[in-house]
Amino acid sequence: MGGGDRIGHRFNDPGLLEQALTHRSAAARHNERLEFLGDSVVNFLIAEVLFQRWPKADEGALTRARAELVREASLAAIARELELGARLVLGPGELKSGGHRRDSILADALEAVVAAIYLDAGFEKTRAVVLPWFEAQLAALPVGKPGKDAKTRLQEWLQGRQKPLPVYEVVSESGEEHAKVFVVRCTTGEPPSSADGEGSSRRNAEQAAAAAVLRLLKP
């Protein structure tokens, strides 16, 4: 039986967990196919639990809540709680660049682990193991009225004070095509503020940068 440690599942087929934690930079048998499946499983589980818990929420509220829970940074935070970074199998380049700490790689690994549990033990077991990982984040959401994304909140904060809208610019773009890392800078003129954000897409990096600026403007 394969030990799941913090994951909370003992694998009948330990090879599934091993594959889920193997980045494509390290081996031919890597976790990308599992990530593909796990992404859908996570999205369904979160959609289901929100549908059940928020009977009066409309589609827009449910969609925003799901987006908040399954975004890269949220999944990476859970991966860190499960200490997946220390167990990742990475190629030399990713090891050198600190890939085990990167949000995109951690989020992908978490989705792959979800798929591994699903293939190993079925859907009911997956639900029982995975939903507790999200419980703290679920509880933090305002019921029925999940928060808007960071870019929208920053825009509304500035507009409410009749200030110019923020400007986003790509500072850097690195990594191979399948594992791009974008750094975007968000700058506001009034009040003057600037912060960088990192993500696996320009959009994710912009959201991270906007969130960072909001923390500066609203300490």
By residue range, what is the domain housing residue 196? 150-217
- Which pLDDT does position 190 carry in this prediction? 82
- Which pLDDT does position 16 carry in this prediction? 96
60 and 110 within one domain: yes
Give the residue-averaged pLDDT of 127-153: 82
106 and 80 within one domain: yes
Cβ atoms of 209 and 197 closer than 8 Å: yes
104 and 17 within one domain: yes
181 and 128 within one domain: no
* Nearest residue to 47 via CA among 68, 20, 78: 68
SS3 177: helix
129 and 79 within one domain: yes
Whole-prediction pTM:
0.66
- Which pLDDT does position 32 carry in this prediction? 94
In a domain, 145, yes or no: no
Backbone angles phi, psi at 163, to 5 degrees: -105, 155
Euclidean distance between CA atoms 49 and 58, whole angstroms = 14
Q: What is the CATH number of the domain that holds 62?
A: 1.10.1520.10
Query: Mind listing the pLDDT tens digit for each residue in 81-110?
Result: 999 988 998 888 777 777 678 898 999 999
Instruction: Report the catalytic residues.
Output: 39, 111
Domain termination site, one of 110, 140, 170: 140
- The number of domains in the chain is 2
Query: Mind listing the pLDDT tens digit for each residue in 42-68?
Result: 999 999 999 999 888 888 888 888 998
